[in-house]
Each structure stands twice: as C-alpha cells, then as structure tokens.
Structure 1
Amino acid sequence: MEIRHLRLIKAIVEEGSLTRAMDSLHLTQSALSYQLKEAELQLGTLVFYRRNKKLILTPVGKKLYAVANRILKELDVTETEIKKMINGDSGSIRISTECYTTYHWLPAVLKKFKCAFPNVEVEIIFEATHRPLEKLLEGGLDLAITSSQEYTDQIEFVKLFTDEMLAVVSKEHPWSSREYVEATDFQDVTLIIHSLPLETVSIFRSELTPKGISPKKLIILPLTEASIELAKANMGVIVLANWALRPHLATGIKTVRINKEGFFRQQFIARMQDREYPVFFDYFIKFLREEINLGADQS
C-alpha cells in the first residue's frame, strides 16, 4: 500500500464519484481504475463494493479511509514545514569576520543565497569586525568567520579552508631575494597591520607574541590597497593571505614565505553550540565554502 493509494481512496470518498475523483487527482478513468485494482490486489481484499455504479466502502475500506485522513494530514503538514525550513519563509543571518579583507567573498555568496532563500536577510555587522567571537557570545551575531578557536566549550567551529600567510615587500627590500623569513626577522622591520589589538592579528597571535618578538616599528593602516602601496614604496612589510594578494601580484611587489615550511592559517565558521539553527544557515555555509573553493581553483 502506497501513499498514492491512500490519496486515491480519500479522493473517491470525498468527491463522491469517480469522475470528480479523476479531476481532483488529475488521472484518467483507466489510470484511476488501475490504481484502485492495484491497491485491492496488494491488500488481498476489496476496498469498495460496486453497487449500481456506486463505490461503497467495505469495512477494510473504512479502516483505510480513517488511516488515510490521519497520515495524509500529517504528511501535508510535514511537507509544509520542510518547505518553510528550506525556503526560509522568513529569517535573518547576522555575520561578521575578524578581517575586512575577508568580506570580498560575500557578494557572490549573497547573490547565490538570495536566489535560493529570497525571504532571508543577510546582515553584515561591520562593527563586530576583529571581535566576532565576543559578539557571537553576546548574541549580536549568528555566524562569525574567524581563524581563532576560543571559547570552544560554547562555540562550534566548522572548517572552511586553509590559507597561507605571506610577507609582502618591495623589490628593493632586503627580504625580496630570500626564500623565506622567520619570526626573529620581524624585529628589524617596520610592520604594517590593519588594526589593533595585536591578539587579533594572525602574525602576532601565532608567530611573534608567543616568541616575545616585537617589530622595530608598527604602522596601523586598515586599507589593504594603501598598505600594499606602502610596502611597494619600501616603507614597511605587510603580512597577507595568498588569496588577498592575487589582484596585486603584478604591481611591483614581492612575496616571501614565513618559515621554511610556510605559515598557514585555518579559517572557520563559528556558531553557538547550544543553538538550533534553521536549515538555511547550513546552505549559507555550503555556498560560502563553494565560493571560496572556486576562487582557489581559479588562482
């Protein structure tokens, strides 16, 4: 016995005739008759008595009709709820990152997501940049893009991708001919960073601070393009992810690896552990991962 058989029995009873049941189910008379006969063969008994061209429920038919009402109602409710979950009848995603350069991924992701979930608003919380995990814990964000793993007892971290951080210098800089530099080399240079505090800056968090190393001078400049121009003019060194450098590699700068084995950073989507997220959040993460991987393939 299949769902279509239950729908057939329910339609015949409630429409009152085969003709109206045919219209309701969008079946031909031969298809309707075949399905009814198929149901009765599977059951091994009649569902309807045929009397004077009328169909009257048998005791088995009455039982099936009651079951059909209950099951089909529950099935319809479930289908409606699933459509709401997937299509996102209404909702919002508040997202931020720990780095302004990361936002270049979002336009393509937002366009794709909006097509799939037109009624879900995505709000970028710029004021949470550099401090997304704290904002997530406070309830001011739904998702955070980050490379740091803190508060793991409260926050779940979903891996997005791994990037390599490179030192950017001018062609005249002493590092330009080197295969790689190490943490101790940074104590002799002017280092350009995007923002404070230092614990939010990857090179400090992972390489310099744990080894007690400080650059000779620090310049804080939040704009990537301006920072690269300073580096190009041999006024300092900046550390950037490989993907952030792609548009600038032909503009007179040199990149140098940090450490012989390279300095790699894992990027995560962070979300609260104890919260139930609607299905559209999973799709947003999926689209984000696809966009990032596409960019990596094209590099």
Structure 2
Amino acid sequence: MKKETVQRIFTVGSEWAYFKIYTGAYMADGLLVREIMPLAARLMRESTVDCWFFIRYADPERHLRVRFHLADRDKLGYVISSVYERLDRYVQDRSVQKIQMDTYVREIERYGREHMECAERLFCTDSRCVTGLLKVLPNERMRSMAAFRLGDAILTAFGMDMMAKRDFTGACAEAFKREFGFTGANAKVFNREYRVWQKPVRDAVECADAGMAEIDKVIEKHYRCGGTGRIVSELLSKRCNVTREEFLRSYLHMTMNRLFNSDNRRHEMVVYEYLHRYYKSAIARGASCEEG
C-alpha cells in the first residue's frame, strides 16, 4: 500500500461513524451483549457496514468507543438512528450518561501504515469474538480462563510456535513488571497465585476443561475458521517497519482491553506471565518426553 493512500483522520460524516457511549464498567458488558453486538450484526447482514470494532476507554469518564465502517456513506443517518433506537432508553434512565460522535484518528505509527486496513479487519474479528465470549461467560473466573485461551489462539493465528510464544509472553510480562515496579515481594505473591492457577491455565490452553466448551466454540469460530487466517497472512506478507511482535503486542493489548471491564493492564500482565510460565513448562515437558 502506498504511503499517500492511507488516510489518517476521519471526521463525522466520513466513511467511519464513531460513537462514544458513556457508561459504567459493568453496564458496558450488558450493552455490548444486548445491544451493540446485535446492532452490529444486523448492520453487517444488511451490508450497511462492512467492519466495526469497539474498545473501552476513560477520558477520564468510562465509556465504550464503537466505530462502524460504512459500506455506503449515504447510510450514515440510518446508522445514527439505529444507534438511537437501541440506546436511547438507557440514556433516559441514566444508565448511559451520554452518547456523542467524534473524529476517528487511526494509530498508524502503532500498527503500521501498511498494516492499518488489515488491522481494522482484525479488530472487527476480535470485537465479534469478545462480544461472543461475554455472552457465554458465567463468571469472572471463566473470563480469565477465556483470556488465556484467546491469547494463545491469537499467537497461534500469527504463526508462533511454542518457543516463540514463550519468548514473546516473557518479554511482555517483564515490560509490565517494570511498569508496575515489581519487587521480590511481588514475585512471591505471583508465585503463590500461579500455583493456584497452574492447572486452570493448562486446561484453558489445552482445551482440557469441559466447562470451556462454549468459550472454545466462540474462539474457534473467529480465530480458526473463516477468513481470519487470510487477513493475518495478508498482513504478514506486507513489508512494514512494525514487526510481527510489535503489532501483536498492540493487538493483544486491545484484546485484553475488550475482554476485561476493569483493571485491564493488571489483567494483561497476569495473562502474559501465566502464559509464559505455561509455555516454559510445556517445552520442558516436551524435552523430558524426548529424553525418555
């Protein structure tokens, strides 16, 4: 893709319709499952939009940022009225404080100019996957289990083998530890907590927990079937100054942002740390089997 063909800024009225929906952390999950996911699915079926995605944000007020790519810019009014019809009652009862439209500025430096359009298509896949997960998650423990499973599935989708996964998650975990100012005392707490989570993490990644059948079905649908592999292959085939690992770090950060409704960075750190420990152990088990 030529440099000048990638547009950075999309104002209101352009091909991107961008809504900020101000609401609390837990209400956001309900809105995503009950209203935004069905609305987006309908707009996609009608070919009104061909891509959509969301993230959670605070500026400092908590809100959802939902972006729809219009297949036909003349349908902007229809999209706005559709959002109104789904969400106005929540504004009236104050469970949503306000809804506003804004300018979408692509993070081109973060994802890479050549990768940007593929990235947005993957954001759509990820948003559909996460909203599907939110619909079937029975509790917070299973949200964490889903994070381990989904994180591993994404690394696999991007062509990482076990050793590459170990190195990548280890580097990400160390970066978070530096950010949070980890000490020896923190490490002891981590070790103690991981002993509790070691088997659940292994069961999640290896699909060995029968309670995760619905979760794995959602992840399978979005990351192992359909066109996701083609999008990833297209992205990785492009020459870009953003490496696969740099792209993945940003992409997985957004995945964890979508999946967890609070304390996202801490959850992200735990996911990287526990996956790193799992991969180290799995590699060691494999080596032991070979020696035996």
**Common topology (TM > 0.5):** no
Q: Which has the larger radius of gyration?
A: 1
Which structure shows the higher helix fraction? 2
- Decide which structure has greater strand share: 1
Question: TM-score under structure 1 normalisation?
Answer: 0.19
Greater RCO (CA < 8 Å, at least 6 residues apart): 2
